Amino acid sequence: MTEQKYKFLSTPRRPVEDRRFVAGRGKFIADFDRPNMLHVAPLASHYAAAAINGIDASAALAMPGVVDVITGAELAAAVQPLMNGLNTPNVRRFPLAVDRVRYAGEWVCAVVAESRALAEDALEKIIVDATPQPFILDAETALLDTSAPVHPEHGSNLLLDRKFVWGPVDDDFDAAAYSLSFSVTWGRNSTVPIETFGVLAEWNGWDQMLDIWASIQMPKYADQIARSLDLPGNAIRVHYDVDVGGSYGVKRGIKHSVLVGYIARKLGCPVRLIEDRLENMRAGDAHGPERKFDITIAFDQDGTVRSMKMRALDNAGAYAGRAPFQLGKPISAIVGPYQINSVAYHALSVTTNKTVQEAVRGFGQAPTNYAIETAMDRVAEYLGMDRLALRQKNLIRKDQFPYLIPSGSYYDSGDYHAVIDKVLTAADYPAMLAERDRLRDAGMMAGIGIAACLEPSGGNSSFEPLLNQSNQTSTWMESCQVNIDALGMVTARIHTTSSGQGHETLVSTILGEVMQIDPELIRITRPNSLESLPGNSPVGSRMAIMLGGAAARAGEKLKAKIMAIAVHRLGVAIDQLRYEGGDVLANDGRRFTWDEMVELAHRQYHNLPDGMDPGLASFDIMQVPTGDALPVDHKVQMYPCYSFEFHLLLVSFDPIIGRPDIHSYVIGHDCGTVINPAIVSGMTYGGIAHGIGAALFEEFAYDTNGQLLTQSFLDYLMPSSHEVPAIQIVKHCTPSPHTVFGQKGSGESGYLGAPAAVSGAINDAVSGLGIHFEKLPIRMSTISDAIAAKTS
Amino acid sequence: MKPVRFDYKRPTTIEEACGLLASDDNARILAGGQSLIPMLSMRLSRPSLLIDIAHIPELTAFVETETHIEIGTMVRQAVAQKSKLVKTHIPLLAKALGHVGHPPTRARGTVGGSVAHADPSAEIALVAATLGAEITYRVDGADEIFDASNFFIGPMLTIAPPTGCLTQLSFAKAPAVCGTGFHEVAPRKSDYALASAAAQINFAAGSGVTSIHLGIGSVGDFPERLDVDQLCGTPLDDAAIADAIHAAMQVVETVEDLHATAAYRKRVATELAIRALRDARDEISKDLNQ
Ligand SMILES: Cc1cc2nc3c(=O)[nH]c(=O)nc-3n(C[C@H](O)[C@H](O)[C@H](O)COP(=O)(O)OP(=O)(O)OC[C@H]3O[C@@H](n4cnc5c(N)ncnc54)[C@H](O)[C@@H]3O)c2cc1C
């Protein structure tokens, strides 16, 4: 279709990062070592809630190799509380518990020692005098007036309680022939990277500089450290040349970083804290959304879905952080890919005595997609209508773009029907149906899962001002610098760490395309934060759009300079010139070569156009496309680009064993123009695997004492290659009108629809028995028990 | 997740190992380390001395006698899995070994370590209990032999002498005509099972079925044998098998955890026991029809 359009873009090229990773030459936080480095081990609370009466660390301090023991009281006196996303100043959070602990595993104090093992030995000697207190685990319970607040100073457990009505909801409900209600719950899970979070801090008093190396993926990380430590912003130097071993949102160890930053300054030694698996799981403060949806949906006999009321209640855990915003992103795609005329949305976030939440792949979109897709299945079931036909009827049509949804965002582009048709063909849908029926005849439970959903991408965090009026954010810029050196080689700088997204490939490919130079010859570097231009790190599926956009624009600026030099040198008008592979060709056949141009720019000022600066460097700080306004009437354009995905799969299981076996999995994916096909496919495969985990296996489950039951991979089950089937990706390309090459985001692809699709397949399999599974993950025991209850 | 400080010794004879065991009340044997090392890291196990028995040649021996196959405790699970002796003479163990963990854990984990560790869902322990294998411990210079069918008494709990060193497992050779079946169910391939079942039917020309061994694992505190002796001498039809197993399962107590309810474990163990026994029966029918 667009085969010859690009030279490097959209072509199968090996990601440049692969070389060092495959050869084991990545440099991760644990590879960073400094002379005289000290190690930190935090003491975890046994209680889900308790008052701390006193901490006796004298025996620990007396042990050889132990340097210090830091308590919450000491820290609270010395640092500012960690940032909250919402306006909740009395939900104060410090790296260590102050006066009381609010979840099991919370850090009570921290030992600093010459080795991590010695620090752990010392932890056993610390005596904490604590009085257990009542605790709350359930979000609905937390809402009750009778429940004691997790933060008494805050007055209640409510962090967020916002009601939105977009469009004529009451009228649409009145006009609709039917309505139905149901509830579904998204279990508490997360992305759990193989590499846990780690940070190393080193204070240099003579330079007044705090150097930080961290396994981090976090917007405005350096700023937040500076604020908490009361240091000037330019006294924090975050090194971006640390490879991050997986993240998808969760690598935001701000509490760890403030803690080691404080210790490094206090002791004047390099200090490192790397979470072990237990700390990562229970106190890394990196759990994802745990969300209950109550949905009422209004529709007609012919399947037209008119309106939806959604109440979403999120269990944020013990502190606020940024987590409640995960109820905000889904507002930008609150109707999914469907023409739903109006929506009422009630977003609630509450504190409980569970581990703190952090951003997770999709920032709340995957749970919402699961709720919307369950609604579509329920409506079809109610009407006795085919689930696929119901979706096709309600999907936004190709000719309706740009399409304004009730909550204020325009969807940029898409052709949902075409993607679905391609998938049905690729999957041989009639054969899939026949196979399902054959399996059923053979005594198996078999079902087909269908999910259609969107990936909002590249946004400017407009959920911040929408949910918090004191926040006036209307940019979420990203930047790139490019330099051509005196030998004619191109180097680009990017200002963030990467956790597997392939930003070096992204930037070199795009710059190569713009400048028409082999991307292999372009060097990408990651300076530290003080040598960087502003950026917001790789979140919200934004880097192809924003970093790619900034790289392209910086490249175009250089090209413009080259053309201006050529005009001057060749003495002809610009319309007589053509840029080709680095050289400039004149219509009269003369060629101004790259090497000559470099020579002029770097050495022959006298041959440059009047007033032109020497050298060949450019930079670009890019504003989010479409993201220039604050919310009006509780509506806002949140994301410029909307990728589409359609999942189709066949599942079967034995009615007694209940272990789902995924036979075939086909996904149709349209993320506009693809920059690097291998990276997009990799994202999608991994996203589906992650989604299968959310649907069937992964949960941070608590017992009735508030203890986390799944503290290691023994119990927190992630799908392995045995549980993830072969996946067929069917590609489609509807370019975005808002980006340099028509690219959209793909960093959350697969994950956004897979949980809905897998749940749909299992529910289809048991539909004949009148069973609905209404909570993820759907464990095999739950399946078997439900069937046994119906059939015995 | 750093172990408590410990000493480490690497004896080369059983006697030396036993001497070290006797020298320190808080000593522990280290075999393949696939269970012990994680427990050390979590500080659930806090030995002062680790005795690594990987360098004692006698403990990796395979011995075939007229009636038995003796497997040294340090034989790696992966080695046992590939062994011709096991395949030929202990077909039930051969079937079970593929379910024990993953290729990397089987490369280090040992046959004896699994039995000594006594995880309620250990496949090797289930097979040993089902077949009544002999478990030999060296204690105070003498061998003590235990019958695997009543060796396991709780989760990670056996009647083994605390200062003994397991040296070998001995399995009776399966008769020329015999059938086996092994089934287990786990959330993911090779997870610790939520329920498992092992069956072996021994057959002799002329006298027919001579014995039926059936056991279930993972559902209670330890692997258990199910008594279905009444099936000997019957045609072993599906209905009779199901009836016998349902009856035997009535007294079995099952446990509940995050991953499965007690009812699930009971229902599924029953089903797996039925399937395992049927598989065993069908193998014999196939053999006899050839
Ligand atoms: C990821 C993973 C998955 C696993 N899955 C399974 C599974 O599905 N099924 C299963 O059964 N197991 C599983 N295991 C456990 C594995 O099979 C272990 O190898 C086994 O349980 C213990 O054997 P080991 O040789 O590693 O013993 P070690 O870990 O070295 O020792 C275990 C215990 O036995 C004691 N011990 C060992 N040898 C002797 C001896 N000769 N005399 C006295 N005491 C002794 C030790 O002191 C220790 O207390 C898994 C392990 C891992 C890491």
Residues A559-581 pLDDT 10s: 999 999 999 999 999 999 999 99
Name the percent of chain B in helix, strand, coil, to the closest 5: 35, 25, 35
Q: Give Dmax over CA atoms of chain B in angstroms.
A: 62
Which residues of B lie inside 8 Å of A (Cβ-Cβ)?
A: 1-5, 42-43, 185, 187-192, 194, 258-261, 263-264, 267-268, 271
Relative to the CA of B76, which ligand 1 atom is closest?
25
Decide: B138 in ligand 1 pocket, CB within 6 A: no
Beta carbon of B192 within 6 Å of any ligand 1 atom: yes
Residues B197, B143 share a domain? no
Which residues of chain B are within 8 Å of residue A121 when distances are taken between CB atoms? 4-5
Considering chain A, what is the average pLDDT of its residues? 97
Q: Coil, strand, or helix at residue A152?
A: helix
Pocket test for ligand 1, best of B13, B36, B44, B55 (most atoms within 8 A of CB): B36
Residue A3 has pLDDT above 60, yes or no: no
Q: CATH number, domain at B140?
A: 3.30.465.10
Q: What angle do CA A89, A92, A94 make, to 5 degrees?
A: 140
Confidence check: pLDDT of A628 > 90: no
Same domain, yes or no, for A539 and A392? no
Q: How confident is the model at residue B287 (pLDDT cuts 50, 70, 90)?
A: confident
Q: How far is A721 from chain B (nearest CA, A)?
A: 9
The pLDDT of residue A547 is: 98
Contact A656, A759 (CB under 8 A): no
Q: In this structure, are A201 and A237 located in the same domain?
A: yes
Q: How remote is the CA of residue B33 from the centroid of ligand 1, in Å?
A: 6
Average pLDDT over residues B272-290: 94
Separation CA B49–CA B23 (nearest Å): 10
* Whether residue B100 sits in one domain with residue B12: no
Structural domain of A690? 291-462+629-791
Give the pLDDT of residue A1: 43
Please tell me whether the overall predicted TM-score, pTM, comes out greater than 0.90 for this model.
Answer: yes
Domain shared by B124 and B185, yes or no:
no
CATH number for B212 = 3.30.390.50
Residues of B in contact with A657 (CB under 8 A): 185, 268, 271
Q: Are residues B42 and B92 in the same domain?
A: no
Nearest residue on chain B to A722, judged by CA atoms? B189
Same domain, A589 and A671: no
Q: What is the ipTM of this complex?
A: 0.97
Tell me what the pLDDT averaged over chain B comes to: 97
Same domain for B107 and B198, yes or no, is: no
> Six-digit token pair at A294?
């109550």
Query: Is the pLDDT confidence value at B153 over 60?
Result: yes
**Hey, which of B114, B135, B168, B182 would you mutate to test ligand 1's pocket, going by the most ligand atoms within 8 Å of its Cβ?**
B114
> What distance in Å separates the CA atoms of residue B46 and residue B2, rounded to the nearest whole number?
11
Distance (Å) from the alpha carbon of B114 to chain A's nearest alpha carbon: 17
Residues A299, A300, A304, A307: what is their CA dihedral angle, to the nearest 10 degrees?
-30
Question: Which residues in A lie closer than 8 A to residue B258 (C-beta atoms)?
Answer: 699, 701, 709-710, 715
Closest CA to ligand 1's atom 9: B100
Residues of A within 8 A of B262 (CB-CB) are none
pLDDT, tens only, A26-41: 999 999 999 999 999 9
Any atom of ligand 1 within 6 Å of the Cβ of B163 = no
Residue A163 lies in a domain: no
Burial, A722: exposed, middle or buried (Cβ in 10 Å; 0-12, 13-18, 19+)? exposed
Instruction: Pick A722's closest partner by Cβ from B188, B261, B271.
Output: B188
* Chain B residue with minimum CA distance to A779: B259
Q: Are residues A684 and A699 in the same domain?
A: yes
Which among B114, B137, B172 is the end of a domain?
A: B172
**Ligand 1 pocket check for B196: Cβ under 6 Å:** no
The answer on pLDDT for A98 being more than 50 is yes
A122 plus A82 within the same structural domain = yes
Q: B273 contacts in A (CB within 8 Å)?
A: none
Q: State whether the beta carbon of B110 lies less than 6 angstroms from ligand 1.
A: yes
Tell me how far apart the alpha carbons of residues B197 and B184 are, in angstroms, rounded to a whole number.
6
Residue of A188, A781, A785 for testing the chain B interface, max B β-carbons within 10 Å: A781
Residues B61 and B95 placed together within one structural domain of the fold: yes
Number of residues assigned to chain A: 792
Q: Considering CB atoms only, which of A116, A277, A720 is closest to B2? A: A116
Domain-terminating residue out of B172, B193, B222: B172
pLDDT digits 0-9 by tens, A371-389: 999 999 999 999 999 999 9
Return the closest-CA partner of residue A689 out of A712, A662, A715.
A662
* Count of domains forming chain B: 3
Q: Select from B33, B52, B71 the last residue of a domain.
A: B52
Exposure string (b/e) for A642-680, b if CB count within 10 Å is 16 or more?
bbbbbbbbbbbbbbbbbbbebbbbbbbbbbbbbbbeebb
Task: Give the 3-state secondary structure of A712-779.
Answer: CCCCCCCCCCCCCCCEEEEEECCCCCCCCCCECCCCCCCCCCHHHHHHHHHHHHCHHHCCCCCECCCC
**Token match 């007694």: residue?**
A656
What is the pLDDT averaged over residues A487-493? 98
In a domain, A345, yes or no: yes
Contact B188 A719 (CB under 8 A): yes
Asked which of A622, A641, A657 is the last residue of a domain, the reply is A622
Give me the number of domains chain A comprises. Answer: 3
Distance CA B129, CA B145 (A): 14
Q: Is residue B2 part of a domain?
A: no
Q: Do A780 and B260 touch (CB under 8 A)?
A: yes
Same domain, B47 and B71: no
Neighbour order of strands in the sheet with A583-586: A577-580, A583-586, A591-592
Please tell me the distance between residue A767's alpha carbon and the centre of ligand 1 in angstroms.
43
For ligand 1, the distance from its centroid to the CA atom of residue B40, given in whole angstroms, is 13
Residues A98, A636: Cα–Cα separation, whole Å:
38
Distance CA A56, CA A69 (A): 10
| Among chain B residues, CA nearest to A277 | B1
B77 and B163 co-located in one domain: yes
Rounded Cα gap, residues B152 and B139, in angstroms: 18
- Ligand 1: centre distance to CA B124 (Å): 10
Q: What separation in Å is there between the alpha carbon of A247 and the centre of ligand 1?
A: 32
* B1/A717 CB distance under 8 A: no
The CATH number of residue A517's host domain is: 3.30.365.10
Residue A8, pLDDT score: 97
**What is the average pLDDT across A2-7?**
73
The residue type found at A145 is D
| Residue A235, CA atoms < 13 Å, CB-side half-sphere | 17
Do residues B190 and B227 both lie within one domain? Answer: yes
Is A187 within the bounds of a domain? no
The answer on A513 and A431 residing in a single domain is: no
Is B73 a pocket residue for ligand 1 (Cβ < 6 Å)? yes
| For the CA of A714, the nearest atom of ligand 1 | 1
- Cα B35 to ligand 1 centre (Å): 4
Same domain assignment for residues A201 and A299 = no
Q: Is A159 part of a structural domain of the chain? A: no
Q: What percent of chain A has pLDDT over 90?
A: 98
Tell me which residue range forms the domain holding B105. Answer: 57-172
Measure CA A234 to chain center: 28
Q: What is the mean pLDDT of residues A281-307?
A: 98
Q: How confident is the model at residue A512 (pLDDT cuts 50, 70, 90)?
A: very high
Measure B141 CA to ligand 1 centroid, in angstroms: 25
Closest by CA position to A75, among listed A113, A36, A42, A124: A42
- Give residue A764's pLDDT: 98
Residue B26 belongs to domain with CATH number: 3.30.43.10
Domain check: are A564 and A613 in the same one? Answer: yes
User: Cβ–Cβ of A657/B268 closer than 8 Å?
Assistant: yes
Same domain (yes/no): A269, A311: no
Q: Is B161 in the pocket of ligand 1 (CB under 6 A)?
A: no
Question: Across residues A51-74, what is the average pLDDT?
Answer: 98
Residue B267: closest C-alpha in chain A: A656
Domain membership flag for residue B256: yes
Please compute the mean of the pLDDT values over residues A316-335 and round it to a whole number. 96
What are B61's two structure tokens? 């021996």
Cα A572 vs. chain centroid, distance in angstroms?
50
- Average of pLDDT values for A646-672? 98
Q: Are residues B182 and B281 in the same domain?
A: yes
Instruction: Confirm whether B168 is domain-assigned.
Output: yes
> Is residue B1 included in any domain, yes or no?
no
Out of B2, B189, B191, name the one closest to residue A120 (CB): B2
Residues A722 and A607 in one domain: no
Q: Are residues B149 and B63 in the same domain?
A: yes
Among residues A622, A642, A661, the one where a domain terminates is A622
| Mean pLDDT calculated for residue range A724-742 | 97
In whole angstroms, give the CA distance from residue A146 to residue A550: 52
**CA-proximal residue: ligand 1, atom 23 (nearest):** B113
* Min Cα separation A8/chain B (Å): 40
| Domain end marker among A596, A622, A648 | A622
pLDDT tops 60 at residue A785: yes
Predicted confidence at residue A4, as pLDDT, reads 67
In a domain, B46, yes or no: yes
Q: Which residues of A touch B185 (CB under 8 A)?
A: 657, 659, 780
Is B185 in contact with A697 (Cβ distance < 8 A)?
A: no
pLDDT-derived band of residue A460, with 50, 70 and 90 as boundaries?
confident
Residues A71 and A204 in one domain: yes
pLDDT (tens digit per residue) in A517-534: 999 999 999 999 999 999
Question: How far is A152 from A172, CA to CA, in rounded Å?
Answer: 41
Whether B116 maps to a domain, the answer reads yes
Q: Tell me how far CA of residue B4 lies from CA of A122, B39, B40, B266, in angstroms.
A: 11, 11, 7, 39
- Tell whether A6 is covered by a domain: no
Point out the ligand 1 atom lying closest to the alpha carbon of residue B34.
26
Give the Å distance between the CA of B36 and the centre of ligand 1: 7
Would you say the CB of residue B280 lies under 6 angstroms from ligand 1? no
Residue B111 lies in a domain: yes
Q: Which atom of ligand 1 is nearest to the CA of B137?
A: 42
Give the per-residue pLDDT at A541: 94
Both B285 and B187 in one domain: the answer is: yes
With beta carbons less than 8 A apart as the criterion, state whether A121 and A63 touch.
yes
B105 lines ligand 1 (CB under 6 A): yes
Residue A331 and residue A372 share a domain? yes
Q: Which residues of A touch B1 (CB under 8 A)?
A: 120, 276-278
Residue A175 inside a domain? The answer is no
